[in-house]
A and B are shown apart, each in its own frame.
Chain A
Amino acid sequence: MSYVTKSPWLIHYDGSSCNGCDIEVLACLTPMYDVERFGIINTGNPKHADIFLITGAINEQNKAVVKQIYEQMPEPKVVIAVGICATSGGIFKECYNIMGGTDTVIPVDVYVPGCAARPEAIIDGVVKGLGVLAKKKEAMEKGLPIDTAKGKEKEEA
């Protein structure tokens, strides 16, 4: 059994979100939603994190930062794009300083829609992310390249 699904620690980075999704991510940690029930801790440190929650779209400035955070996370790890901005650039897609959703720089494992994404949706997204995490862990144990375990599409294929 893999413990990674029982203690997923997360790191949250605000790409260029409007704060709407940010505060909903934070709200998940607070009494009403309390994701610590699932063993989730908001560690601010990529080196301790298993789940990368990213809100907001990618722009030229935070591209490197997002990439770096992602690279500093040890395997297995999943990326969850929270909010419409993070999934596709959302309402700001046409802005001159926006490059697009998170998947323009790093592979995204779960997309959580909503503007702002509701805490319930974020919890659903994380739960879904845990499934991916478990699969990646399995792949890691088998010595497979981890990216091949990336979720549904490959599973179907």
Chain B
Amino acid sequence: MNMTIIISVIAYIILAPIVGGLLAGIDRKISARMQGRVGPSILQPFYDMFKLMEKEAITVNKAQDFYVGCFLFFIIVTGGFFFAGLDLLLVIFTLTLASVFLIVAAFSSNSPYAQIGAERELLQMMAYEPMVLITAAGLYLVTGSFNISDIINPENGMAIKFLPGIFLGFVFILTIKFRKSPFDLSMSHHGHQELVKGLTTEFAGKTMALIEIAHWYENIFLLGIVFLFIANGTVWGAVAAVVVCLVTYFIEILIDNSYARMKWQIAINSSWIVAITLGFINMLVIYFSKFVL
């Protein structure tokens, strides 16, 4: 048991950036094709990252790099906890910690676009946080444990059977987490936007590269949560879960290319409404069937 944990954590730490980077590359390729263009090479994200590493080292103050480093570190820790099968809430809180580091890094630069980006990022966090917690609560109610190692081996089958609403809600907020249109408010990976580069305006060179890597880690971890909904402890379940993860990712790309960027009001209204309707009703049903029936 212990051995598998160590292996999966190490596998995560090594493979996640590779898979995450590839996914990002595929994302860019598919997006380009959807826009009628050829698009970059699939390895482009890696080129970008190495390029950033090679650039001259500049920063706007001495504190920023520390915060960004912490961001990356705790994102890795988050994923590590996740793949070690630890408590889901612990994982979520660590993720929050990591995200706060990113925001703090942006705030520390005291620069307009970074600050507004940080403010919007914060708003996005406020928007998706309830749904994330509800997701954890839902998984807990269905599987009776917060431990991820228990959640992936549920006793009564795939969690999604009981949590269709929560699953949809989670996919909804994934759009925010993946920084996809219509909710790429605080920074967008490609292209230019009204906030210049938002949150990342003041990060250059290596610092920016770290952020890219962190995003790859984060994306894999988020797909890991999608995985939880499908996994049922069997091999075919795992395969199905991976397929669902990929389909989810594709849908996110499609959404990215099919929507205008919305304003923050919509971001918070819609995600809270989703959390209240899908999340709440789903929970209500579970509570009802669990405690009343």
Contact = CB atoms under 8 A, between A and B. Distances in A.
A and B touch in the complex (CB under 8 A): yes
A44 B205 CA distance: 15
Contact of B197 (A31, A34, A38, A43): A43
Contacts of B201: 45, 47
Contact of A45 (B38, B51, B197): B197
Interface string A62-99: 00000000000011100000000000000000000000
A4 B47 CA distance: 8
Contact of B44 (A2, A39, A42, A74): A39
Nearest to A44: B192
Given A34-B32, A37-B38, 10 more contacts: A6-B44, A7-B44, A7-B50, A31-B37, A41-B48, A43-B192, A45-B196, A47-B58, A48-B197, A74-B204
B37 A47 contact: no
Given A34-B37, A48-B204, A48-B208, A4 B197 contact: no
B54 A36 contact: no
B191 A42 contact: yes
Interface in A18-57: 30-31, 34, 36-39, 41-45, 47-48, 50
Nearest to A4: B51
Contact of A44 (B28, B40, B197, B208): B197
A95 to B, nearest CB: 30
A74 B202 CA distance: 12
Chain A, interface residues (CB within 8 Å), range: 20 to 34
B203 interface: yes
B113 to A, nearest CB: 8
Interface in A114-135: none
Interface residues of B, number: 33
Contacts of B44: 6-7, 39
A39 B55 contact: no
A7 B51 contact: yes
Contacts of A30: 37
Given A7-B44, A44-B192, A74 B55 contact: yes
21 contacts: A2-B54, A3-B47, A3-B54, A7-B47, A7-B50, A34-B37, A36-B38, A36-B40, A37-B38, A37-B40, A39-B48, A41-B48, A41-B190, A42-B191, A43-B192, A44-B196, A45-B197, A48-B204, A74-B58, A75-B55, A140-B56
Contacts of B37: 30-31, 34, 36-37
Given A4-B54, A137-B54, A39 B41 contact: yes
A90 B98 CA distance: 52
A7 B25 CA distance: 13
B203 A42 contact: no
Given A3-B50, A41-B190, A74-B55, A47 B40 contact: no
A75 B53 CA distance: 12
B170 to A, nearest CB: 30
A143 to B, nearest CB: 13
